[in-house]
Structure 1
Amino acid sequence: MTNLKEEAVAKEKDADLKIKVEKREGEPTAAFKGASIAALLIGVLAYFIGLFNATMELNEKGYYFVVLIFGLYASVSLQKAVRDKEEGVPVTNIYYGLSWFALLIAILLMGIGLYNAGSIVLSEKGFYGMAFVLSIFAAITVQKNVRDTQKARNMD
């Protein structure tokens, strides 16, 4: 009878160890990773659906499309540069500065575009602004999660 109890306790400990091995220290939870990806998809899809349904000229739609793509790239690039610097990975000052500059320009271009858009009502301007901010923030979070997961798995 004692052996059965000892075996049950040992199996329970093995199950606990397997759970701990699957999620390593410093790795984001699956729920947080999923929420970040969902936020990115929702932000980008909402933005694109808004552009598709907008009554603005095609060149205006192209402007807002490029500003979003530029902003996503700039935010991920800046997150990588900041994280590299923090971890002691060499980052040139010019790349670091350009990353900040690119993100600020993307935000500025979005703001200027929305401010000067006479064909867009105020509620649509708010929609595009919020979808843009959600997408930028989510892209940074997804990049951070990818980096944290990779770092946690390479610690072995």
Structure 2
Amino acid sequence: MSYEQDVLVDKGNQNEQKIKVERKDGEPTPAFKGASWAALLVGVSAYLIGLFNAAMELNEKGYYFAVLIFGLYAAVSLQKAVRDKEEGIPVTGIYYGISWFALIVSISLMGIGLYNAGSIVLSEKGFYGMSYVLSIFAAITVQKNIRDTQRAKDRN
């Protein structure tokens, strides 16, 4: 099953013309895909810009950068493992467990790091926490959209 979506096209001085855009069953809408990518870009960019401008030691900046990358990877890995299990694709218990463990550890490291950071004011801690959570959520959503789009294309 596919869905049709009307798109208005501006033809200059002429009247607007409707074009049918076909979307496969189960495929996310272009708006949702765009919003997911935008959220990932905003979250990661805000985090990195804040980190670049922060008045902290380079090793501390490296810690927060590594925690971001680790968290993004762990979140995508876990999302893939969960989807694979749901779709009947074999996933070993050890990989599934490590995926959960890695995400929990990355979030814990972020929380512990922010809690113990004496050089960061409370508003900055909140900024880093929120941009971190936004980035992780967006990475999961982007990965889901990529997988759903590929699956919809493979069906037809």
| Cα distance per residue 1:38-94 (max 9 Å; x no partner) | 000000000000000000000000000000000000000000000000000000000
CA distance, structure 1, for counterparts of residue 137 and residue 76 of structure 2 = 9
Give the equivalent residue in structure 2 for 1:33: 33
Give the equivalent residue in structure 1 for 2:52: 52
1:113 match: secondary structure? helix
Give the equivalent residue in structure 2 for 1:7: none
1:19 match: secondary structure? strand
RMSD, aligned α-carbons: 1.1
Matches for 1:32-111 after TM superposition, within 5 Å: 32-111=32-111
TM-score (norm 2): 0.87
The residue identity in structure 2 corresponding to 1:129 is G
The residue identity in structure 2 corresponding to 1:92 is T
Q: Which of 18, 21, 25 does residue 19 from structure 1 map onto?
A: 21
Which of structure 1's runs of 4+ aligned residues deviate more than 3 A? none
TM-score (norm 1): 0.87
CA distance, structure 2, for counterparts of residue 24 and residue 138 of structure 1 = 23
Greater relative CO (CA pairs within 8 A, separation 6+): 1
Q: Gaps (5+ residues) in structure 2?
A: 1-17
Q: Gaps (5+ residues) in structure 1?
A: 1-14
Give the equivalent residue in structure 2 for 1:144: 144
CA distance, structure 2, for counterparts of residue 19 and residue 101 of structure 1 = 42
CA distance, structure 1, for counterparts of residue 114 and residue 76 of structure 2 = 23
1:120 match: secondary structure? coil
Q: 1:19 Cα deviation (Å)?
A: 2.6
CA distance, structure 2, for counterparts of residue 40 and residue 68 of structure 1 = 12
| Cα distance per residue 1:97-139 (max 9 Å; x no partner) | 0000000000000000000000000000000000000000000
> Number of matched residues?
139
Q: Which of 1 and 2 has greater Rg?
A: 1
The residue identity in structure 1 corresponding to 2:73 is Y
